Structure formats: C-alpha cells, structure tokens
C-alpha cells in the first residue's frame, strides 16, 4: 500500500521560523501503523524527522500526536483505517509548545499533574510493616478505569478549553485528581476539592466530550470531572459559581421543563452579588437589541410534566445535597435583562418629566432653551439626584446653582 505521509515540520534551529508540511511517500504493509510509517521515513528517507516513541504497544504514552486532525497514539492507529485518498496528515499534539517537528514540550502537562498532588495521603496511623492499607473491591473497580491512564496527553492536546485558557488544569490532571479523591484510603478530600474549586479547576470544563472521544484508554476524563463536581457539592462546596450554576440549571429544568436563561445567570453569579449583576447589564442590552431577550413572564412548556416525572424518578436514586428550590421565574425578574428593561423605561419617564412644565422652574436658562443634548440632560438628572441626596445641600436653589456651576 502506497501512502503519502504529510508531516508538519518545525525546526527552531533552521532559518525557516514557521512550520510547514512535508510529504513523504512510503510503501507500507496493510497492517502498518502511523508510527511504523514515521519510523520508516526517519530510518530510510529523512533522518532529521523528530518524533517520540518507545513501547510501540500503546503502553508508554509517548507517541501521542494529531493524525488527520485528531489526537491519537501513532502506534495504535492503523494507516489503512484512516488513509484518505492515499494521504495521512500528521501533526504534533496540540495545546503544547512544539520543540521540534512532532515533539512537544510536556512541562506544563507535568506541572499540572503535580499541582493536584498525585499521591495518597492515607488516614490514621501507619499500618504494621507486614500489613497494608486496604480498599474495597468496589472502590478499586471504580478506580481501575482512571488508573488505566498512560499520561499520553491526547486529551490535553484536543481539549477545547485549554485552547483558549492555558490556566485550565486540563482533563488528564483532573482525572488524576479524581483518582485520589475517590480513593477510600485518602484523607485529603476536602483540601483537594477546595483547590479544585478555584479558577482553572473542575468547574472550567465545558463538557465538550472531546477528551472522552480521543482518550485511547477509555479513562473518560470528562466523566471523572463531573464526579469531582458531585463530590465537591456533596462535601458542602455549594457557594461557588460552578455549583450555583449547576443547581440553578437543574432546578430550572425541573420546574419549567426548560433552561431558564433569565434566572440562570442571576442565580449563578449570586442573587446578592450586585457588582456581578451590574456587569451583566451590557449583555442584557445586547440581548434586548438583538431580539434575543428570553421571555420575562413564566410560561408553561409542552411536556413539562414529563420532565418532572424524569426528575422524580431520578430523585429516588439521588444522594446529592438539597437543591435550591427558589422558583426560578421569580429570580428571573431580578435578572440584568429585566433590570435593563426597567432602566430604559425609567429613563423614558425621566425624559417625559423633563419635558413637562413641573420642572421648568428648576432648569437653568441653557436647559430651558431645549438645545441641550440628551447626554448633557442626563448629567443634569445626575446632578439633581446628587444634591437631593445630600442633606446639607438639598433644595431646588442649590440644584440650579450646581448646574450653573457645571455650565461655567
Ligand atoms: S470535556 Fe472538558 S476537559 Fe474534556 S476536552 Fe472538553 S472541556 Fe476539556
Ligand atoms: S486520560 Fe486518556 S488521553 Fe488523557 S492522558 Fe490519560 S490516557 Fe491519555
Ligand atoms: S510508542 Fe508507546 S504508546 Fe505509542
């Protein structure tokens, strides 16, 4: 079988500072893997091609790279299964800096794994030297899946969050964290979960499933991250942004049979977190202007009872902590979208009030003429408000004075 391997090359020592694709045509057996092809190229065609490999048996995890756009183990990927019109595109793993050709720098990967303290911190006194720490079969069965991780970095290569936020711990490190949090012999669950609650931790995963798709060992990193979240909430970490978002999402769907986009951001940021609520106002304005404001008043969704029935059934098997049972429709009324709407109405009322005769006596001459721009009028309202609020200076006379001063 003749195959063209189109390999992405980069040599920091050459004059060419950008990467480029180089095609190698090789004759391969039907049973050959991508790694076999690359080794043939390096040994018979171009000795300058750099790549990492060791076991050639999907055990050591050193040959992860992108093949036809997706992270795979090169030694575990048969050419015949992926060749497209006689061509296979091979690139270095993503989300890590390229050292040379197909070799990437794994330092950030290992730093993040180290950050989650990947070691057991057992409870109680040390057992006798001829004894051991025991864990139940069930616990070890659950852990067996995550212990199959070979630290190849395929999941990290294709993680969509790491692409935009290098601070994210990433699927491999979080799966490793789960391995120790879920181990019944470990006594450090609370501090571990507390650390994972921070920015860049378990709540930053967007559940895109990409890590699940590319993991060659079926570790299911995303599933482990979701289990970490459950454990964090069961431990009592329910006042983080992520936990609140999760509870609000579930509660909204349970009550209304749909995602309530109005109450979701309010509950996620925290109902009394005024600063964060105000920060969302521009988003509310954009939603209003784009005609994408969610409905303000609660409405019944067709099939809502069926969704409730599913929840009731799930509840029978559920051990998670109590949910926030505040009616989401009520919370939605405090959302920035509604607040923006109210602010616009208030502004229009003030405009109307401005044009009415009842305030004409308070307006300085420049304002009386009607030639003042709306923005300046807004400053005038602001001044009025400021002086009326000050017990020392309240009164219409001072309001006029303040504006006369402003004009000067
Ligand atoms: S599911 Fe989460 S961890 Fe996995 S690739 Fe997507 S964002 Fe990354
Ligand atoms: S979770 Fe899977 S893809 Fe990620 S490092 Fe481990 S084995 Fe590789
Ligand atoms: S060479 Fe070891 S996993 Fe591919």
**252-302: pLDDT as tens digits:** 888 888 888 888 888 888 878 888 888 888 888 888 889 888 777 767 788
Where do the structural domains in the chain lie, given as residue ranges?
2-104, 107-235, 241-339, 356-407
Cα(47) to centroid(ligand 2), Å: 29
37 or 363: which leads in pLDDT: 37
151 CB near ligand 2 (under 6 Å): yes
Q: Which two tokens stand for residue 129?
A: 């030297």
Average pLDDT over residues 356-365: 58
Kindly give the interhelix angle for 336-355 and 374-389, rounded to the nearest 10 degrees.
Answer: 100
Poorest-pLDDT segment among 53-67, 99-113, 166-180, 232-246: 232-246
Which range is most confident: 141-150, 270-279, 315-324? 141-150
**Would you state the pLDDT for residue 201?**
96
For residue 375, pLDDT over 50 is answered with: no
Give me the pLDDT at residue 235, please.
92
pLDDT of residue 396: 42
Categorize the per-residue pLDDT at 334 as very low, low, confident or very high, splitting at 50, 70 and 90.
low
17-26, 214-223, 368-377: segment of lowest average pLDDT: 368-377
The confidence score (pLDDT) of residue 320 equals 54
| Residues 63 and 75: beta-carbon distance below 8 Å | yes
How far, in Å, from the CA of 261 to the mean position of ligand 2?
Answer: 34
State residue 110's pLDDT score. 97
Convert 146-181 into a string of H (helix), E (strand) and C (coil).
HHCCCCCCHHHHHCHHHHHCCCCCCHHHHHHHHHHH
Q: Which of 94-103, 129-138, 326-335, 399-408 has the highest mean pLDDT?
A: 94-103
Ligand 1 atom with the shortest distance to the CA of 206? 7
Answer whether residue 387 shows pLDDT above 50: no
Ligand 2 centre and the CA of 153: distance in Å? 6
Which stretch of 300-309, 322-331, 334-343 has the lowest confidence by average pLDDT? Answer: 322-331
Mutate to test the pocket of ligand 1, among 157, 173, 196, 206 (most ligand atoms within 8 A of CB): 206
CB of 221 closer than 6 angstroms to any ligand 1 atom: yes
Question: CATH homologous superfamily for 2-104?
Answer: Beta-grasp domain (3.10.20.30)
Residue 348 predicted with pLDDT over 90: no
Atom 2 of ligand 1, residue of closest alpha carbon = 205
Confidence label for 386 from pLDDT (cuts 50, 70 and 90): very low
Q: Whose CA is nearest to atom 8 of ligand 2?
A: 152
313 band by pLDDT with thresholds 50, 70 and 90: confident
Is the CB of residue 63 below 6 angstroms from any atom belonging to ligand 3? yes
Least confident of 143-147, 157-161, 344-348, 372-376: 372-376
- Rounded Cα gap, residues 129 and 219, in angstroms: 33
pLDDT band for 218, please (50, 70, 90 cuts).
Answer: very high
Which of 197-201, 319-323, 386-390 bottoms out in mean pLDDT, i.e. has the lowest?
386-390
Mean pLDDT to the nearest integer, 18-30: 95
Q: What is the pLDDT of residue 47?
A: 95
Computed over every residue of the chain, the mean pLDDT equals: 83
Percent of the chain with pLDDT over 90: 49
Band (pLDDT 50/70/90 cuts) for residue 225 is very high
**pLDDT exceeds cutoff 90 at 127:** no
Q: DSSP labels for 249-310?
A: HHHHHHHHSS--TTHHHHHHH-TT-HHHHHHTHHHHHHHHHTT-PPPSS--PPTTHHHHHHH
Cα of 157 vs centre of ligand 2, distance in Å, is 10
Which of 92-96, 127-131, 138-142, 277-281 bottoms out in mean pLDDT, i.e. has the lowest?
A: 127-131
Using alpha carbons only, how large is the chain's radius of gyration in Å?
31
Atom of ligand 2 nearest to the CA of 211: 3
Q: Round to whole Å and give the CA distance between 27 and 7.
A: 16
Mutate to test the pocket of ligand 2, among 55, 217, 224, 228 (most ligand atoms within 8 A of CB): 217
| Superfamily (CATH) of domain 107-235 | Alpha-helical ferredoxin (1.10.1060.10)
Q: Is pLDDT above 60 for 384?
A: no
Percent of the chain scoring above 70 in pLDDT: 80
> Is the pLDDT score of 332 beyond 80?
no
For residue 213, the model assigns a pLDDT of 97
Q: Is 34 in the pocket of ligand 3 (CB under 6 A)?
A: no
Query: What confidence category does residue 398 fall into, taking pLDDT thresholds of 50, 70 and 90?
Result: very low
Nearest ligand 3 atom to alpha carbon 53: 1
Q: What mean pLDDT comes out for the span 223-232? A: 96
Rounded Cα gap, residues 340 and 350, in angstroms: 15
Does an H or E element contain 341, and which? helix 336-355
Distance (angstroms) between ligand 2 centre and the Cα of 20 equals 28
DSSP state of 333: T
Q: Does residue 208 line the site of ligand 1, with CB under 6 A? A: yes
Distance 395 CA to ligand 3 centre (A): 81
* Of the ranges 9-23, 218-232, 242-256, the best mean pLDDT one: 218-232
Ligand 2 center to 175 CA (angstroms): 8
């Amino acid at each position: 079988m003749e195959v063209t391997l189109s390999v992405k090359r980069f040599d920091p020592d050459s004059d060419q500072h950008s990467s480029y694709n180089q095609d190698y045509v090789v004759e391969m057996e039907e049973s050959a893997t991508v790694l076999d092809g690359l080794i043939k190229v390096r040994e018979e065609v171009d000795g300058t091609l750099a790549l990492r490999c060791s076991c050639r048996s999907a055990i050591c995890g050193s040959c992860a790279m992108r093949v036809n756009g997706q992270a795979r183990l090169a030694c575990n990927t048969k050419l015949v299964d992926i060749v497209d019109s006689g061509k296979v595109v091979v690139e270095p793993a993503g989300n890590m800096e390229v050292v040379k050709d197909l070799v990437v720098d794994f330092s950030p990967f290992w730093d993040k794994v180290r950050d989650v303290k990947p070691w057991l911190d057992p409870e109680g006194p040390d057992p006798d030297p001829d004894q051991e720490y025991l864990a139940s079969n069930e616990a070890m069965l659950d852990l067996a899946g995550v212990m199959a991780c070979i630290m190849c970095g395929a999941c990290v290569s294709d993680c969509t969050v790491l692409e935009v936020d290098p601070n994210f711990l990433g699927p491999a490190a979080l799966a490793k964290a789960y391995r120790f949090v879920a181990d019944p012999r470990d006594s450090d669950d609370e501090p571990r979960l507390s650390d994972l609650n921070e920015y860049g931790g378990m709540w930053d995963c967007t559940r895109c499933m990409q890590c699940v798709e590319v993991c060659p060992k079926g570790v299911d990193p995303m599933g482990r991250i979701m289990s970490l979240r459950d454990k964090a909430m069961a431990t009592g970490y329910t006042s983080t942004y992520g936990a609140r978002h999760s509870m609000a999402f579930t509660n909204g769907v349970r009550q209304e049979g749909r995602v309530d986009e109005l109450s979701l951001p309010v509950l996620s940021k925290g109902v009394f977190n005024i600063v964060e609520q105000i920060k969302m106002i521009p988003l509310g304005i954009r939603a209003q202007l784009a005609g994408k404001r969610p409905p303000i008043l609660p409405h019944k969704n067709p099939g809502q009872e069926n969704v409730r029935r599913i929840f009731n059934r799930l509840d029978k098997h559920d051990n998670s902590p109590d949910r926030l049972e505040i009616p989401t429709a009520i919370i939605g009324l405090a959302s920035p979208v509604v607040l923006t709407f109210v602010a616009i109405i208030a502004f229009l009322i003030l405009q109307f009030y401005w044009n009415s005769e009842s305030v004409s006596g308070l307006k300085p001459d420049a304002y009386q003429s009607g030639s003042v721009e709306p923005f300046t009028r807004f400053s005038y309202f602001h001044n009025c408000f400021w002086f009326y609020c000050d017990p020392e200076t309240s009164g219409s006379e001072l309001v006029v004075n303040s504006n006369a001063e402003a004009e000067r």
